[in-house]
Amino acid sequence: MSMPENLVEISNMSFQHENGKTVFQDVDIVIPRGKITAIMGPSGTGKTTLLRLKGGQLAPTTGKVVVAGQVIHELSRKKLYQLRKSMGMLFQEGGLFTHLNVFENVAFPLREHTHLSESMIHTLVLMKLQMVGLRGTWQLMPNELSGGMARRVALARAISLDPQLIMYDEPFTGQDPISMGVLVKLVRTLNKSLNLTSIIVSHDVQETMQIADYVYIIVNKKVVGHGTPESIFRDASKQLQQFIQGLPDGPVPFDYPAVPLVEDFLRG
Amino acid sequence: MIDRFSMVGHWGIDNLRCFGKAGILFYRVLFYAPNFRKGFPLVAQQVYSEGVLSLLIIIVSSLFIGMVLALQGYHTLAKFGASQELGPLVALSVVRELGPVVAAILFAGRAGSAVTAEIGLMKATEQISSMEMMAVDPLHRVISPRFWGGFISMPLLTIIFNATAIYGAYLVGVKWLGVDAGIFWSNMQSSVEFHADVVNGILKSIVFGIAVTWIAVFQGYFAVPTSAGIASATTRCVVYASLAVLGLDFVLTAMMIGEW
């Protein structure tokens, strides 16, 4: 059976939280195999929610999320966990286990899902740590690492089972320029050398546009634009330009919706 | 008026939903046990952190409780010339009631709160989510070992509590107040029945162990992943677990005495 060209296909998807707040409305996104796709948008547009939908941690209210040819929210628990073995996810804060050292953190998926010998696990873990440049930290505990290093260790852990898809949740947020540069380089090199499919959810325009092959921009529950980074920069849409140029007011308003100011004053 | 009804309705639905979630969690912990090879070291680790690390508070509290009980009991019994009954008084109150109940409440404060806070923090720092994304079920890896660790530790801690409290009473009653050691022990032996008193006390502690650890893991797993959320989940764990222990104690005592 030939592999579908797109690893992830989201069609006509809407999602509403339990509290009734709608996050997405009729969203269509395709993630092609072997490419780096960026999903960008202002804070609070539900970018992390989108990753959780792709990972099957949340189910859409309507529409479909297909990953590797399978509708992820219709899978049984067993099949979902099977599929997740082929995915890696890098969380915003890394999500390293605080009671395990760096080595054990990276070895965790290998110990859980394989029956490899201890010496094999040792070699694999050191190889993965070498890939992210942190082999020397194998004995350290997560609280001894800087934020950028913790993310790199988490990245080593995410690739330890050689996944076909890796999802990055705001990988560049809160990083100093050097760590940011290291992470940008890593995302690019790993995608190429391991033949991964990468999804980056971010609002760091410059860094993400540098490495993405294709970009989706989500504003106000909908995809407002998509294309290659060059075409996004050229797009005349006001919503897109506001986001890319970082304008404080525009189609995405500066003010949070509220009753008229006079009414609020009179109430006091 | 309608608003008030709807508020009561919302409150009722929220609470029922909460019970439902707790029930499903309990069912999955009980019936989807992890395999022995991977699960055993995790449970053993939890027996250490929930049980062994609670030993200090259990031993110190039980020693003082036994000593106070002997002191109070001796003076009251002496008024009726029945100070030789000190042994049975202490042993029966500790083995039947104080042992299981106080040990469970201390356990809720020491180990239950730690379990809730740990699971809540794992959730807040995305450790639980990352585990799920690595295709490792946190119910197997995190929740289940903590539940079984508490389930095993609670009766053992109660036995240690009972023994230490009786020893404390012996120190005060026999060594300090001068009750005859032979009378102290032989009256205790003739009054305490193994099945009706000792076994029933341990049965209580097993039920309390289930209740306390169930509440602790539930509060942690469904905590709002913020600092305020974890703080209130930890408080709720101790309050609910203590109330549950006291309520269950009444029910169990009524059942064991044979009124039900």
Q: Tens digits of per-residue pLDDT, A82-100?
A: 999 999 999 888 899 999 9
Q: Residue B33: its pLDDT value, please? A: 66
Instruction: State the Cα–Cα distance between residues B15 and B20, nearest whole angstrom.
Output: 9
pLDDT tens sequence across B193-212: 998 899 999 999 999 999 99
Q: Residue B38: its pLDDT value, please? A: 81
Are B201 and B100 spatial neighbours (Cβ–Cβ below 8 Å)? yes
Are A224 and A218 spatial neighbours (Cβ–Cβ below 8 Å)? yes
What dihedral angle (degrees, nearest 10) is formed by the CA atoms of A234, A240, A245, A246?
A: -170
B164 burial via Cβ count (<10 Å: 0-12, 13-18, 19+) = buried
Cα of A161 to nearest chain B Cα, Å:
9
B14 and chain A: CB distance < 8 Å anywhere? Answer: no
Those residues whose C-beta lies under 8 Å from the C-beta of residue A171, and which sit 6 or more positions away, are A90, A151, A183, A187, A200, A202
* A97 to chain B: closest CA residue: B127
Pairing of strands A6-16, A22-32: antiparallel
Q: Residue B105: its pLDDT value, please? A: 97
B130 and chain A: CB distance < 8 Å anywhere? Answer: yes
Does residue A2 register a pLDDT over 60? no
Those residues whose C-beta lies under 8 Å from the C-beta of residue A111, and which sit 6 or more positions away, are A121
Adjacency order of strands within the sheet including A62-67: A22-32, A6-16, A62-67, A70-71
B135 and chain A: CB distance < 8 Å anywhere? Answer: yes
* A51 to chain B: closest CA residue: B133
The tokens for A59 are: 């189910």
Q: Residue A264: its pLDDT value, please? A: 87
Helix-then-strand count for chain B, H and E: 12, 0
Task: Pick the more confident residue, A17 or B64.
Answer: B64
Q: Which chain A residues have a beta carbon less than 8 Å from that of B127?
A: 95-98
Q: Which chain A residues have a beta carbon less than 8 Å from that of B129?
A: 52, 57, 91, 95
- pTM exceeds 0.95: no
| Listed residue (B77, B124, B112, B113) closest to B228, CA to CA | B124
The 3-state DSSP composition of chain A as helix, strand, coil percent (nearest 5) reads: 40, 25, 35
Alpha helical stretches, state H, B80-135: 86-92, 99-107, 113-124, 127-133
pLDDT tens sequence across A131-151: 888 999 999 999 999 888 999
Q: Strand pairing partners for A62?
A: A14
Interface predicted TM-score (ipTM) over 0.85: no
Cα of A244 to nearest chain B Cα, Å:
29
Question: Which residue among B38, B125, B135 sits closest to A84, beta carbon to beta carbon?
Answer: B135
Q: Do A109 and B134 touch (CB under 8 A)?
A: yes
Task: Pick the more confident residue, B144 or A175.
Answer: B144
Cα of B142 to nearest chain A Cα, Å:
12
Using 70 as the pLDDT threshold, list the residues of chain B that sit under it.
Answer: 33-34, 259-260
Q: Which chain B residues have a beta carbon less than 8 Å from that of A161?
A: 134
Are A176 and A184 spatial neighbours (Cβ–Cβ below 8 Å)? no
Q: Residue A1: its pLDDT value, please? A: 46
Task: Pick the more confident residue, A179 or B233.
Answer: B233
Q: Which chain B residues have a beta carbon less than 8 Å from that of A75?
A: none
B228 and chain A: CB distance < 8 Å anywhere? Answer: no
Eight-class DSSP state of B173: I
CA-based torsion, A49, A178, A138, B52: positive or negative? negative
Give mean pLDDT, residues A96-116. 93
Are A129 and A156 spatial neighbours (Cβ–Cβ below 8 Å)? yes
pLDDT tens sequence across A29-81: 999 998 999 998 887 788 888 888 988 889 999 999 999 889 999 999 889 99
Give mean pLDDT, residues A205-219. 88
* A154 to chain B: closest CA residue: B130
In the numeric block, the tokens 């100093």 are attached to A176
pLDDT band at A182 (very low <50, low <70, confident <90, very high): confident
Q: Residue B112: its pLDDT value, please? A: 96
pLDDT tens sequence across A232-242: 888 777 777 78
A3 burial via Cβ count (<10 Å: 0-12, 13-18, 19+) = exposed
Q: Do A91 and B136 touch (CB under 8 A)?
A: no
Question: Which string of DSSP letters, residue by residue, matches B19-41?
Answer: HHHHHHHHHHHHHSPPPHHHHHH
Interface contacts A/B by beta carbons within 8 Å: 50
Question: Which residue among A77, A91, A161 sits closest to B126, beta carbon to beta carbon?
Answer: A91
